[in-house]
């Protein structure tokens, strides 16, 4: 007598793994916990070196009831997913360990089923968002979205498209970090200069961009590009802050799909929930640009750069008499992020204090430029989400750990005394990349206090001496 896939007996063996408790079930299959069935050195991917038993997830994909061609396609998809998972190793991708095709002639349910052996996660992002009790904080949501984007940057950087990004396919690990999973629809780009690939006409309706709804089906499937993942990321961003709801109205996926097409054809505006914070609303709107061409300028890399530079916490702007409002970090926050004593904002080349430095007038002035249109239009408002960071050290990564406390906004004019042509390369939100930096004087600070502005944050090109 055959056992349903969601009622496998404990101890059932799949390769070198034993089935444990059931983790989840759905229309696509069933996931169980798996533990080593033999010595650790015989396990695929085993050997963490910490002396603890490795626990994995066993994802059962049944082929029973499928036509032979469908069954072969499922086996091939699982093989590709397993192979891709082993090749595309990255901290933001779930680790694939093995794939097994079951041979159980006496059990028509199990016979021919495909089992993917993968790293064990705590739960999915979907469950994380739907959990009872206090939900995740805005900081947690921002961190998870940044980690999701890190995974996309890696995928797109090796010329792959995920093809089915959604909260169900983002797994939360035991340490709280996010990893992308379910690469059964992942596609390698093979068009001119690696611009597109082809996949079966599959995918989750709520995450398909407008062009996919009317994409022609050819012999190789439908065309897919990295901008498909960017659209899905925009939906995930909205769901993260809007209680899991889509920005497109409708009671069913098909109804929401019709709303997507209306928007894509210019017959309906994009309406984002006010619960989405301003910065993330702007980012989601860019991800959800109605056409591939408009969306393509917002690469995963440029979006990640925006997420990282905007992840520095700020306090509300405080008006100052006789001048535009300026927003600063709290001193304690600045000290924690930048690793300096609260008493001394003494940033110069490499983060050192320039004691005894000549305080003569600098070589020139440059205006800060923000490529985000909303931030340019509302520069006078000094919106915290539109502030830009000045670096402590241009040779280090341009992250929250390497910025000074003072923030700047579009149209701020800074005194500049020299430039560094070869620092850490920085990519702006439109994909423009430069390794040039300008050493600037901190606004309203002593002349000896300087920081670094990446060249992509200004449109000025002054003639300056090279920094020594």
pLDDT score of 86 more than 70:
no
**pLDDT score, position 51:** 43
For residue 184, tell me if it sits in a domain. Answer: yes
**pLDDT score, position 445:** 59
Tokens 């069913």 belong to 252
Residue 404 per-residue DSSP state? E
Total domains in the chain come to 3
pLDDT, tens digit, for every residue of 147-200? 999 999 999 988 889 989 999 999 998 888 999 988 878 888 875 555 777 666
**pLDDT score, position 357:** 33
For residue 468, tell me if it sits in a domain. Answer: no
pLDDT score of 266 more than 80:
yes
For residue 272, tell me if it sits in a domain. Answer: yes
Main-chain phi, psi angles of 375, to 5 degrees: -70, -30
Residues 276 and 159 in one domain: yes
pLDDT, tens digit, for every residue of 35-60? 888 654 444 444 444 444 578 888 88
Half-sphere exposure of 195 (CA within 13 A, CB side): 7
Residue 315 per-residue DSSP state? P
In the chain, what percentage of residues exceed pLDDT 70?
A: 75
**pLDDT score, position 455:** 92
**pLDDT score, position 330:** 31
Residues 244 and 324 in one domain: no
End-to-end CA distance of the chain: 80
CB 445 within 8 A of CB 405: no
pLDDT score of 354 more than 50:
no
3-state helix, strand and coil shares in percent for the chain, rounded to the nearest 5: 30, 25, 45
Residue 268 per-residue DSSP state? S
Burial of 66 (0-12, 13-18, 19+ CB in 10 A): middle
For residue 467, tell me if it sits in a domain. Answer: no
**pLDDT score, position 226:** 92
Please name the helix (run of DSSP H) or strand (run of DSSP E) that holds residue 310, with its range, or none.
helix 300-310
**Biggest alpha carbon–alpha carbon distance for the chain:** 90
Residues 158 and 251 in one domain: yes
pLDDT score of 319 more than 60:
no
Average pLDDT over residues 217-234: 85
pLDDT band for 342, please (50, 70, 90 cuts): very low
- Whole-Å CA distances, 63 to 181, 323, 397: 21, 70, 48
Residues 20 and 115 in one domain: yes
pLDDT score of 311 more than 70:
no
Lowest mean pLDDT of 95-99, 276-280, 334-338, name the range: 334-338
Helix 138-157 vs helix 300-310: crossing angle, to nearest 10: 150
More confident residue, 250 or 384: 250
Range of the domain at 346: 318-457
Domain boundary among 310, 341, 375: 310
Q: According to the 3-state scheme, what is the secondary structure of 129-188?
A: HHCCCCCCCHHHHHHHHHHHHHHHHHHHHCCEECCCCCHHHEEECCCCCEEECCCCCCEE
pLDDT score of 9 more than 50:
yes
Retrieve residue 319's tokens: 């008006």
pLDDT score of 228 more than 90:
yes
pLDDT score of 77 more than 80:
no
pLDDT band for 313, please (50, 70, 90 cuts): very low
Residues 273 and 135 in one domain: yes
More confident residue, 342 or 454: 454
Retrieve residue 256's tokens: 């929401």
Helix 300-310 vs helix 226-241: crossing angle, to nearest 10: 30
Strand 29-36 relative to strand 17-26, pairing: antiparallel
d(CA 170, CA 180): 5
What secondary structure does DSSP assign to 214-255, as a single string? Answer: T---BTTBEEE-HHHHHHHHHHHHHHHHTTT--SS--SSHHH
Residues 324 and 379 in one domain: yes
Average pLDDT over residues 304-323: 52
pLDDT score of 4 more than 70:
no
Domain boundary among 310, 337, 364: 310
CATH of residue 25's domain is 3.30.200.20
Residues 252 and 143 in one domain: yes
For residue 20, tell me if it sits in a domain. Answer: yes
- Whole-Å CA distances, 195 to 187, 246, 287, 305, 309: 11, 28, 18, 22, 28
What secondary structure does DSSP assign to 28-93, as a single string? Answer: TEEEEEEEESS-GGGSTT---SSSPPP-EEEEEE--TT--HHHHHHHHHHHHHHHHHHHHS--TTB
pLDDT score of 285 more than 90:
yes
d(CA 66, CA 59): 18
| CA angle 173–177–179, rounded 5-degree value | 75
Please name the helix (run of DSSP H) or strand (run of DSSP E) that holds residue 306, with its range, or none.
helix 300-310
Highest average pLDDT, of 20-34, 193-207, 450-464, comes from 450-464
Average pLDDT over residues 299-323: 60
pLDDT band for 457, please (50, 70, 90 cuts): very high
pLDDT, tens digit, for every residue of 126-146? 988 887 766 778 888 999 999
This prediction's pTM: 0.61
CATH of residue 235's domain is 1.10.510.10
Q: 368: helix, coil or strand?
A: strand
Average pLDDT over residues 265-280: 93
Domain boundary among 95, 119, 143: 119
Please name the helix (run of DSSP H) or strand (run of DSSP E) that holds residue 296, with its range, or none.
helix 292-296
pLDDT score of 352 more than 50:
no
CB 268 within 8 A of CB 262: yes
pLDDT score of 361 more than 50:
no
CB 46 within 8 A of CB 52: no
Residues 303 and 346 in one domain: no
pLDDT score of 384 more than 70:
yes
Residues 349 and 285 in one domain: no
**pLDDT score, position 26:** 64
For residue 382, tell me if it sits in a domain. Answer: yes
For residue 80, tell me if it sits in a domain. Answer: yes
Average pLDDT of the chain is 77
Highest average pLDDT, of 22-36, 282-296, 396-410, comes from 282-296
Residue 466 per-residue DSSP state? B
Residue 363 per-residue DSSP state? S
Retrieve residue 329's tokens: 């970090």
CB 291 within 8 A of CB 212: no
Residues 105 and 13 in one domain: yes
For residue 465, tell me if it sits in a domain. Answer: no
Retrieve residue 245's tokens: 């709801």
Residue 60's nearest CA partner among 87, 100, 90 is 100
Residues 330 and 434 in one domain: yes
Residues 139 and 191 in one domain: yes
Tokens 């961003």 belong to 237
Tokens 């996949």 belong to 199
- Whole-Å CA distances, 313 to 337, 409, 439: 10, 15, 24
Q: 327: helix, coil or strand?
A: coil
């Amino acid at each position: 007598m055959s056992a349903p896939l969601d009622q496998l007996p404990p101890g059932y063996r799949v390769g070198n793994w034993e089935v444990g408790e059931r983790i989840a079930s759905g229309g696509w299959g069933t996931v169980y916990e798996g533990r080593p069935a033999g010595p650790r050195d015989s396990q695929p991917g085993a050997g963490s070196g910490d002396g603890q038993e490795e626990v994995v997830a066993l994802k059962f994909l049944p082929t029973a009831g499928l036509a032979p061609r469908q069954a072969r396609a499922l086996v091939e998809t699982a093989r590709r997913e397993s192979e891709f998972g082993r090749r595309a190793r990255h901290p933001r991708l779930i680790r694939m360990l093995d794939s097994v095709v079951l041979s159980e002639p006496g059990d028509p349910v199990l016979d021919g089923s495909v089992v993917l052996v993968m790293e064990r996660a705590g739960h999915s992002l979907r469950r994380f968002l739907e959990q009872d009790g206090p939900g995740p904080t805005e900081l947690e949501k921002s961190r998870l979205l940044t980690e999701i984007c890190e995974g996309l940057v890696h995928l797109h950087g090796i010329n792959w498209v995920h093809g089915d990004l959604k909260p169900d396919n983002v797994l939360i690990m035991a340490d709280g970090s996010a990893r992308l999973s379910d690469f059964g629809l992942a596609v390698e780009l093979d068009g001119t200069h690696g611009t597109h690939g082809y996949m079966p006409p599959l995918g989750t309706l709520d995450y398909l961009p407008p062009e996919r709804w009317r994409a022609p089906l050819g012999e190789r499937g439908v065309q897919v590009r990295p901008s498909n993942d960017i659209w899905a990321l925009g939906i995930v961003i909205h769901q993260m802050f809007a209680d899991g709801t889509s920005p497109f109205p409708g009671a069913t996926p098909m109804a929401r799909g019709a709303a997507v097409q209306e928007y894509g054809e210019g017959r309906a505006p994009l309406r984002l929930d006010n619960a989405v914070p301003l910065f993330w609303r702007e980012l989601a709107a860019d991800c959800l640009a109605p056409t591939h061409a408009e969306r393509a300028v917002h690469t995963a890399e440029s979006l990640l750069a925006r997420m990282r530079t905007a992840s520095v916490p700020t306090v509300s702007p405080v008006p100052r008499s006789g001048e535009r409002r300026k927003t600063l970090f709290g001193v304690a926050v600045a000290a924690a992020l930048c690793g300096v004593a609260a008493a001394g904002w003494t940033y110069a080349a490499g983060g050192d204090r320039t004691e005894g430095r000549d305080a003569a007038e600098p070589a020139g002035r440059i205006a800060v430029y923000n490529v985000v249109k909303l931030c340019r239009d509302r520069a006078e408002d000094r919106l915290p989400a539109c502030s830009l960071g000045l670096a402590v050290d241009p040779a280090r990564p341009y992250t929250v750990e390497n910025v000074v406390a003072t923030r700047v906004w579009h149209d701020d004019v800074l005194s500049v005394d020299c430039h560094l042509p070869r620092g850490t390369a920085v990519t702006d939100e439109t994909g423009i990349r430069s390794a040039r930096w300008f050493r600037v004087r901190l606004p309203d600070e002593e002349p000896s206090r300087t920081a670094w502005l990446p060249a992509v944050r200004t449109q000025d090109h002054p003639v300056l001496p090279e920094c020594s």
